[in-house]
Amino acid sequence: NAGVMQNPRHLVRRRGQEARLRCSPMKGHSHVYWYRQLPEEGLKFMVYLQKENIIDESGMPKERFSAEFPKEGPSILRIQQVVRGDSAAYFCASSRQGSEAFFGQGTRLTVV
Amino acid sequence: GESVGLHLPTLSVQEGDNSIINCAYSNSASDYFIWYKQESGKGPQFIIDIRSNMDKRQGQRVTVLLNKTVKHLSLQIAATQPGDSAVYFCAENILPGQNFVFGPGTRLSVLP
């Protein structure tokens, strides 16, 4: 049973471009969470999704950021018109209802 | 000893000693707690969990203690090894169907 798969592992974007981060949850998991982490800091919650539904997006910036978890395929975190301040590690986790969340290895986004 | 770094508090312990990492959680309604270990460049890794109807749970070399009265969670690591050096996060889940909220993290440094 493969773990949570995130790709790409590293992503470099120029200011103003779009970044798309993908997360494939573990088999049987219908809950996906996205977190952002700056170096030497904790994990900041962004958004929590279930299949085809956004459950909680209270941690997501109102502009430029969006997330989806379609019925088929991976969850996508999309950042439009990236700025230098978007540079961070973005982690995805998945879980079953009421169970532990397992994390992927993250996508490290660098905006140049 | 324990010190506050630029962002993450650091706990330094001698190899072979026991480590105790503490976490204060935010919501008295939280019913599920997890400890994660994060090594440099990797995603958080599940260590152990505990539900609010318990006050202690043991794993292999690790013990989690929950004190609901003071909203405090601790992780005890027995006979700390160099491979235990990492950042440790506690996470709370208020209700099933809600996201996990992470504490700020503690860096554990194991001295030879």
Residues from chain A that touch B36, judged by Cβ atoms under 8 A, are 103
CA-to-CA distance for A13 and A84, rounded, in angstroms? Answer: 9
Q: What angle is formed at CA A105 by the lines to CA B107 and CA A7, rounded to 5 degrees? A: 150
* Rounded-to-integer distance, Cα A30 and Cα A11, Å: 26
| Cβ pair B99:A91 closer than 8 A | no
CA distance B41 to chain A (A): 8
Instruction: Specify whether the CB–CB gap between B65 and B74 falls below 8 A.
Output: yes
Which of A6, A48, A105 minimises the CB distance to B99?
A: A48
User: Could you report the per-residue pLDDT of A21-51, keeping only the tens digit for each?
Assistant: 999 999 999 999 999 999 888 899 999 999 9
* CB-based contact, B48 to chain A, within 8 Å: no
User: Which portions of chain B are predicted below pLDDT 70?
Assistant: 1-7, 96-97
pLDDT in tens for each of the 112 residues of chain A?
A: 579 999 999 999 999 999 999 999 999 999 999 999 998 888 999 999 999 999 999 999 999 999 999 999 999 999 999 999 999 999 999 998 878 899 999 999 999 9
